[in-house]
Chains A and B, each alone.
Chain A
Amino acid sequence: MDALVAQLQMQFRDYTISLYQQGFLDDQFTELKKLQDDGSPDFVAEVLSLFFEDCVKLIGNMARALDQTGTVDFSQVGASVHQLKGSSSSVGAKRVKGLCVTFKEYCEAKNYEGCVRCLQQVDIEYKALKTKLQDMFNLEKQIIQAGGRVPQVDIN
């Protein structure tokens, strides 16, 4: 079992590092992890689920706003983008946040195509992140089930 634990831990470590390297996550995520402790062992998972729910909601808002026949209310889109930017930066969702920045610019420029494209990309990104994180959590679960401890991964 120890071998299994060790192996899982290594897998976990590598996987986590790769997420950072690929730009999915950033330091803020590390900070988030630090907030988790024995007292609240699922903190990160909770926050992230909240985040993803938020994503769904905001993307829905944006899609609706952009989908208006007639004049598109860019300020509304912008407001949602801003919010998404805020949440993504809080959780450390680096790519999503980067996209939001671009998205925001398009909104300000009232560039419809740009916005639509960004929206699609945001949608893809958050889903990709969600999948990755789910994999990571699964690994964690496996480690714990195998009797091990989830290692602290030092990203540097």
Chain B
Amino acid sequence: MAFAQSFYNQNSGLRISVMVVDDDPVFLQIMSRMLEKSKYRDPSIMEITVIAVKDSREALSTLQIQRNNIDLIVTDYYMPGMNGLQLKKEITREFGNLPVIVISSDSNKEQESLTCGAMCFIPKPIKATDLTKIYQLAITYKRNGKSILWTEHNHQDTDHVTIPQQIQLLPEQANVLKTKKKRKFSPRSVPRSLNSSNGSCVSTDGSRKNRKRSGDDVESLSKPAKKSKISWSDYLHDLFLQAIRHIGLDKAVPKKILEFMNVDYLTRENVASHLQKYRQFLRKVAERGVCCSSMLSGRGIDSIFAYAHITEPYYNNYTATTSWYDTSLNNRSFYSKPGHGFGQSRLLSNPREPIRSNQMPYNYMNRSSTYQPLRNGSSLTLPISGNLNFPTQPSENGGRRSFFESTGVANYTGQTSQVLGFGQHGPLAINDNNFENNTVSSCGSLTPNQPGSVSHGSLTPNKSDLSSHGSFNPNHQGNSSHGSLSTSNQPGMSSYGSSTSNQPGISSHGSLTPNQPGLTSHGSLTSNHLGMSFYGDSTPNLPTMNSYESLTSNPQGLNSYGCVTPNPGLNNVGSLTPNPGLNNVGSSTPNQPGASHLLYGIELFLNNENTASMPQPHANATTEPNLGIPELENLSLYDDLGNINELPCDISNFQLDNNKQPQEEAVSTTQFELPASFPTELNEIFSPGEEGDWTFVNINQGHSDGETSNIFAAPETNSPIININPNQIQERDDPDFIDWSLLDPQDLANEFDFMDSLFNNDMN
């Protein structure tokens, strides 16, 4: 808790400002009071300010005035004029991804709210336990915002720094703080209780550094800095990476990098030290058996960068020894600009959930999502038309060939990483690719790593699944990358962001790692075995559906914030981490049973080989995880969408590259079946916001001509909603409150078994 404490001490605590919108004055008063009083529950909160407004119009105008002061919005659903969801959309449209919680006495609205992108849904009457959720959300978001934004460090401002709407920080925004390198915070791997309101969880060296950095920032913030300290914001780091890419790692010297970056407040020394760290990081990654170096240097980097500037793969993982660069993976995605066309970044940037990874130095977080290029339709992105093919699981299978040969070498040992790109571009180079074909993957890069390669934006479809977007990185061990989708091991669909199924590895941020049959989506899923999963990771272990943000099922390990680790249960929200490891704030660990209550609206469709092909939608992990088969009729896509039952995107855009994989078809179609309604459901899950940044890919059930890849791109406004397979839920967690610190040892067992089987299966 060193960080938290230091943060607290230094920074005079955290001040959160919440806006409550409700036409019922009684409720407004009660809610305001409850929130104000709830600060006493959490020592790190100094103050909670509540702004109460009676209707949506007023809410919007208040937001306009006090945009930076508001950390969270709680809105009623039924209101005259604009209802809560409409308000939410409007807010997102005008102000970016502010976290919005929807409340209503009508609990039927939950589904819809979550679909719409609300961070969560709380039924009225509000209980004290709900408050915890609320303010923790606010804290997380705020903290993340701060780290990302490194605002001018201005003592007063820091309290109000919030939601970073865009990851890219302008140079002016970058904080220039003093560097206090000597300062180190104490143990990084101190397990943090989930309930810590301090979302940072240190799990590795990197985190220590991160922490140090954040700590430094905090400290500097509290007093006027005399020296200028550079904080490597996402933006800066991206620039740095671009520079390296441009120059070539081998030839990268601080001077050239500095020139390239062209940031005036940056000194050569800053760059030099950063470069050094970066190199160290790479080295570590390489040592881990992944040959990142190849990737990083030369081709790898180039290829990677070829695609939409996906940041270095190493970003993903966070290994115990990696430098803090790794941590970036974790959080990375969530902060990307809303508006990114790129699915990957979208995923990664989960607007809603300010997931924090454990370690987080926010700088790195969300690095990966700075996919600017994405925005421009860089090749990377997603779901665009491309071939997604993903090969498979990296496991040690001998016979696997990497699907994408174009750029890389299919190497079992994971030498080259090949990243799949879309259509035109070759695969990104990432580590090893042992792809198994079964799945359809798309977008970004695929990196089926064996020994842990880091890939960024890689997809690694393991078995037959659909992976999409971002990168998948089914690592065996090793680092997963950021923005990778890790293969869904069994039949599953992962999508978006990255999924990384690592064995021992570190998973990265924005990765999805659907282990068994599950659908994971969004953000990242990382099923690590031992690793650290991070932020924005979701790791659906068993047949679960994970969604959103991250799910990380680590058997042990640190989970990071914003991770969802559904064990056999449904997980949702922010993060769920069923681990025996450290979990962080914002993580929910649905252990065995259960649907975690966290509901941030994740509905996972479980696409499970083992189970019926019929997806079991929503067991929304809401208060009652419905174990029954949800009536699909209730699902409703957004009206705005116009096309309710169609995929927003044109399916024809996604062409699986069947040519490349002879086996693919067979495999893909057999592995799992998607129910016919799946696309619809998926749509609903990933309900696109009006802005429609998401590209929906239809998950091909094999109906169409052998195309099996569908990718879901996360809508910019929504977090993917994944239905959790109710079948998997055995018990229910307390519906009212998720004990995030709950770590169930059973999970451990499950995960391990699962992971083992997962990887073993792939090997066939």
**Which residues of A are interface residues toward B (Cβ below 8 A)?**
28, 31-32, 34-35, 37, 40, 43, 46-47, 50-51, 54, 79, 82-83, 85-87, 89-92
CA of A32 to CA of B124 in the docked complex: distance in angstroms? 14
Q: Which residues of A contact B255 (CB under 8 A)?
A: none
CB closest residue in chain A, given B38? A35
B26 x A31 contact (CB < 8 A): no
Which of A46, A90, A91 lies at the interface centre, i.e. has the most chain B CB atoms within 10 A of its CB?
Answer: A90
Q: Which residues of A contact B34 (CB under 8 A)?
A: 31, 35
CB closest residue in chain B, given A85? B105
CA of A125 to CA of B27 in the docked complex: distance in angstroms? 20
Q: Which residues of B contact A89 (CB under 8 A)?
A: 105, 124-125
CB closest residue in chain B, given A88? B26
B24 x A87 contact (CB < 8 A): yes
Q: 1/0 per residue B27-58: CB within 8 Å of A?
A: 10110011001000000000000000000000
Partner of B78, one of A34, A82, A92: A82
Q: Which residues of B contact A51 (CB under 8 A)?
A: 26
CA of A83 to CA of B126 in the docked complex: distance in angstroms? 15
A91 x B26 contact (CB < 8 A): yes
Q: Ordered nearest first, which 8 A-B pairs have the shortest CB separation?
A: A87-B26, A89-B125, A86-B105, A51-B26, A90-B27, A28-B125, A35-B33, A50-B26
CB neighbors of A among B100-150 (8 A)? 104-106, 124-128
CB closest residue in chain B, given A87? B26
Q: Which residues of A contact B125 (CB under 8 A)?
A: 28, 31, 89-90, 92
Partner of B126, one of A47, A79, A87, A90: A90
B26 x A90 contact (CB < 8 A): yes
B33 x A86 contact (CB < 8 A): no
CA of A37 to CA of B40 in the docked complex: distance in angstroms? 13
A87 x B27 contact (CB < 8 A): yes
- Asked if B80 is an interface residue, CB under 8 A from chain A, the answer is yes
- Asked if B23 is an interface residue, CB under 8 A from chain A, the answer is yes
CA of A155 to CA of B249 in the docked complex: distance in angstroms? 69
Nearest-Cβ distance from residue B52 to partner chain A, whole angstroms: 12
Q: Which residues of B contact A40 (CB under 8 A)?
A: 33
- Asked if B707 is an interface residue, CB under 8 A from chain A, the answer is no
A31 x B127 contact (CB < 8 A): yes
Q: Which residues of A contact B80 (CB under 8 A)?
A: 79
B23 x A83 contact (CB < 8 A): yes
Which of B30, B34, B124 lies at the interface centre, i.e. has the most chain A CB atoms within 10 A of its CB?
Answer: B30
B78 x A79 contact (CB < 8 A): yes
Contacts A/B (CB < 8 Å), 5 sampled: A31-B34, A46-B29, A86-B76, A86-B78, A92-B125
CB closest residue in chain B, given A49? B26
CA of A51 to CA of B80 in the docked complex: distance in angstroms? 19
A86 x B27 contact (CB < 8 A): yes
Given known contacts A79-B78, A85-B105, A90-B24, A35 and B124 CB-to-CB distance under 8 angstroms:
no
Q: Which residues of B contact A85 (CB under 8 A)?
A: 105
Q: Which residues of A contact B76 (CB under 8 A)?
A: 86
Q: Which residues of B contact A90 (CB under 8 A)?
A: 24, 26-27, 30, 124-126
Partner of A82, one of B25, B37, B106: B106
CA of A48 to CA of B26 in the docked complex: distance in angstroms? 8
Which of B33, B104, B126 lies at the interface centre, i.e. has the most chain A CB atoms within 10 A of its CB?
Answer: B33
CA of A54 to CA of B23 in the docked complex: distance in angstroms? 11
Q: Which residues of A contact B126 (CB under 8 A)?
A: 90
Seed contacts A47-B29, A90-B24, A91-B30; 16 additional CB < 8 Å A-B pairs? A28-B125, A31-B125, A35-B33, A35-B34, A40-B33, A43-B33, A47-B30, A82-B78, A82-B106, A83-B23, A86-B76, A86-B78, A89-B105, A90-B26, A90-B30, A92-B125
CB closest residue in chain A, given B29? A47
CA of A40 to CA of B30 in the docked complex: distance in angstroms? 12
Q: Which residues of B contact A32 (CB under 8 A)?
A: 30
A50 x B25 contact (CB < 8 A): yes
CB closest residue in chain A, given B27? A90
Q: Which residues of B contact A47 (CB under 8 A)?
A: 26, 29-30
Q: Which residues of A contact B105 (CB under 8 A)?
A: 82, 85-86, 89
CA of A46 to CA of B26 in the docked complex: distance in angstroms? 9
Nearest-Cβ distance from residue A48 to partner chain B, whole angstroms: 9
CB closest residue in chain B, given A37? B37
Which of B76, B78, B105 lies at the interface centre, i.e. has the most chain A CB atoms within 10 A of its CB?
Answer: B105
Q: Which residues of B contact A43 (CB under 8 A)?
A: 33
Nearest-Cβ distance from residue A34 to partner chain B, whole angstroms: 8
CA of A28 to CA of B128 in the docked complex: distance in angstroms? 10
CA of A89 to CA of B76 in the docked complex: distance in angstroms? 14
CA of A87 to CA of B34 in the docked complex: distance in angstroms? 15
CB closest residue in chain B, given A83? B24
CB neighbors of A among B63-98 (8 A)? 76, 78, 80
Q: Which residues of A contact B25 (CB under 8 A)?
A: 50, 54
Partner of B128, one of A31, A86, A91: A31
B124 x A86 contact (CB < 8 A): yes
CB closest residue in chain A, given B103? A86
CA of A89 to CA of B37 in the docked complex: distance in angstroms? 20
Q: Which residues of B contact A50 (CB under 8 A)?
A: 25-26, 29
Q: Which residues of A contact B37 (CB under 8 A)?
A: 35, 37
CA of A37 to CA of B34 in the docked complex: distance in angstroms? 12
CA of A34 to CA of B41 in the docked complex: distance in angstroms? 13
CB closest residue in chain B, given A43? B33
CB closest residue in chain B, given A91? B26
Nearest-Cβ distance from residue B141 to partner chain A, whole angstroms: 25
CA of A54 to CA of B29 in the docked complex: distance in angstroms? 13
CB closest residue in chain B, given A28? B125
Q: Which residues of B contact A54 (CB under 8 A)?
A: 24-26
Given known contacts A79-B78, A79-B80, A86 and B30 CB-to-CB distance under 8 angstroms:
no
CA of A87 to CA of B76 in the docked complex: distance in angstroms? 12
Q: 1/0 per residue B1-43: CB within 8 Å of A?
A: 0000000000000000000000111110110011001000000
CB closest residue in chain A, given B105? A86
CB closest residue in chain A, given B106? A82
CB closest residue in chain B, given A35? B33
CA of A46 to CA of B125 in the docked complex: distance in angstroms? 18
Q: Which residues of A contact B23 (CB under 8 A)?
A: 83
Nearest-Cβ distance from residue A35 to partner chain B, whole angstroms: 5
CB closest residue in chain A, given B25? A50
Q: Which residues of A contact B127 (CB under 8 A)?
A: 28, 31
CA of A69 to CA of B348 in the docked complex: distance in angstroms? 57
Nearest-Cβ distance from residue A66 to partner chain B, whole angstroms: 19
Nearest-Cβ distance from residue B368 to partner chain A, whole angstroms: 42
CB closest residue in chain A, given B32? A35
CB closest residue in chain B, given A92? B125
Q: Which residues of B contact A31 (CB under 8 A)?
A: 34, 125, 127-128
CA of A31 to CA of B736 in the docked complex: distance in angstroms? 15
Nearest-Cβ distance from residue B736 to partner chain A, whole angstroms: 12
Q: Which residues of B contact A91 (CB under 8 A)?
A: 26, 30
Which of B26, B27, B33 lies at the interface centre, i.e. has the most chain A CB atoms within 10 A of its CB?
Answer: B26
CA of A87 to CA of B23 in the docked complex: distance in angstroms? 10
CB closest residue in chain A, given B28? A50
Given known contacts A31-B127, A90-B124, A83 and B78 CB-to-CB distance under 8 angstroms:
yes
Nearest-Cβ distance from residue B74 to partner chain A, whole angstroms: 13
CB closest residue in chain B, given A82? B78
Nearest-Cβ distance from residue B103 to partner chain A, whole angstroms: 9
CB closest residue in chain B, given A48? B26
Q: Which residues of B contact A28 (CB under 8 A)?
A: 125, 127
CA of A106 to CA of B80 in the docked complex: distance in angstroms? 21
Which of A31, A40, A54, A87 lies at the interface centre, i.e. has the most chain B CB atoms within 10 A of its CB?
Answer: A87
Nearest-Cβ distance from residue A106 to partner chain B, whole angstroms: 16
CA of A87 to CA of B78 in the docked complex: distance in angstroms? 12
CB closest residue in chain B, given A86? B105
CB closest residue in chain B, given A93? B26
Nearest-Cβ distance from residue B628 to partner chain A, whole angstroms: 23
Nearest-Cβ distance from residue A46 to partner chain B, whole angstroms: 7
Q: Which residues of B contact A87 (CB under 8 A)?
A: 24, 26-27
A86 x B29 contact (CB < 8 A): no
